[in-house]
A and B are shown apart, each in its own frame.
Chain A
Amino acid sequence: MAVDDSCGAPAQVATPADFDTQGQVVLAGKVTGADGPVGGAFVRLLDGGGDFTGEVVSSADGDFRFYAAPGDWTVRALHRTGNGEASVTAEGPGLHQLAISVG
C-alpha cells in the first residue's frame, strides 16, 4: 500500500439518528435551500474560537459529517446560491445534529 490514508475529505453520506459513533463526537446534518437539499456546498467546521478545523463537500442530499472533540462548534456552509451556518455545543461523545439553511 502506498499512502492510502490521505487527508482528503471523503464523499459524504447520510448519518442516521441511531448512527454508531463508536465513542467519538460526531457532528452531522444537512444543508438545505429554498428548493430542498443542497449538494455541492462547501461545509466548514469552525472551533469555539472561530478557527477553521475541517471542510467537506455536502452530498447530493445535502449531508455532511465531522468527527470532532467535546466543545463549541460552528458549521458554516458556502454555496454559489448563498451561505449559512449553525452552532452546537458537544458536551461529550455521541451524535450532534445540525441543520443549515443557505440561499
Chain B
Amino acid sequence: MSREDVLVTTQWAEENLDTPGVVFAEVDEDTTAYDAGHIRGAVKFDWRKDLQDGVRRDFVSKEGFEALLSAKGISNDDRVILYGGNNNWFAAYAYWYFKLYGHENVQLLDGGRKKWELDGRELNSDEVKRDATDYKAKDQDTSLRAFRDEVVQSIGSKNFVDVRSPDEFSGKLLAPAHLPQEQSQVPGHIPGALNVPWAKVANEDGTFKTEDEIKELYTDEGIDESKATIAYCRIGERSSIAWFALHELLGYEDVKNYDGSWTEYGSLVGVPVELGAK
C-alpha cells in the first residue's frame, strides 16, 4: 500500500469532481459547515445520526450501513473520497468504518476540509441528490477493531498508542482543551501506553506528514514493530487518524482501533490505570 492508494490531494480532488464512479462524502458530527458550503457534489454523513446506533453505544449494524449507503447513492464499486472538518477525524473514523464493512475502494482527502479551505478552493451549498443504490456490506472485519476484554488482556504484550494530548494522558485533563472538563471516568492511561498525540502525524494544514517522518516518530516513541498495536483516544475518532497512519500509510499489519477508548476504559471497575507523564 502506498500513500497514493489511501490519500488523494486537494488538487486531484478538484480535477476529479465530475469523474464518473468517484463519490465525495463529507463526514462531520456538526454538519452546519456542510450545509453552509461543501465540495461540489459531495454527499453528507452526520457522524452521530448516520454512523452511530441511536440507543446503544455502538455502530450502526451491517443492515443499517447498507441502508445508509444505498440512500446516499453510493454503489459497491464506487471510489469514495472522504473528507471533513476537525482535521479529518470523523472522515478517518468513517474510513475505518468503511473498511470494517468491507468497502475497499475508499480514500481520504489529504488535509480534509481545512486544506481545501486554506487553498481557497470553491465551496458550494447546492443540495446533492444521487439516485439510490442497492448497497451490500460485508460482515464487520473485527481484525481492525479492539474491544475492552482484548484491551485488558493485551496489556504488556501489545503496543498501546494513546493519541490524546499529554495533559489528558498524564491525567491532568479529562477532555481535549476545547471542551469543558466535566467527565465521570477516572483520569490516566492504559499501563505501558505510548503517548503519541494524533497531531504529531499531521502538518499544521491538516495533511499527513511523509511516511518516513511518521515511521521515525513512532519508532522514536518506542513502538515495537514486532508486536500488534492498539490505538485509542477518548472515544475513537482521533485514534482513527493514528490507525490510518500506522495501518494504511506505514502498512503495519496488526493494528486495531479501540473505539471504546478512554471513556470506556476509564469507567471500567478493577482495571489497571497509570497516571503521570510518560
Contacts and interface: CB of A to CB of B under 8 A. Distances in A.
For the residues of B in contact with A, the DSSP-based class is loop
Interface in A41-75: 42, 44-45, 47, 51-57, 65-69
Contact of A66 (B28, B55, B119, B177): B177
B119 A80 contact: yes
Interface in B180-194: 180-181, 183
Interface residues of A, number: 33
B237 interface: yes
Contacts, number: 107
Contacts of B181: 24, 67
Contacts of B90: 8
Interface residues of B, number: 49
Given A2-B53, A2-B55, A2-B56, A47 B178 contact: no
Contact of B235 (A6, A22, A47, A53): A6
A47 B197 CA distance: 13
A9 B200 CA distance: 18
Interface of A: 2-11, 22, 24, 40, 42, 44-45, 47, 51-57, 65-69, 76, 78-80
Interface of B: 28-30, 32-33, 47-48, 52-58, 85-87, 89-90, 114, 117-120, 165-167, 172-173, 175-181, 183, 197, 199-200, 204-206, 233-235, 237-238, 263
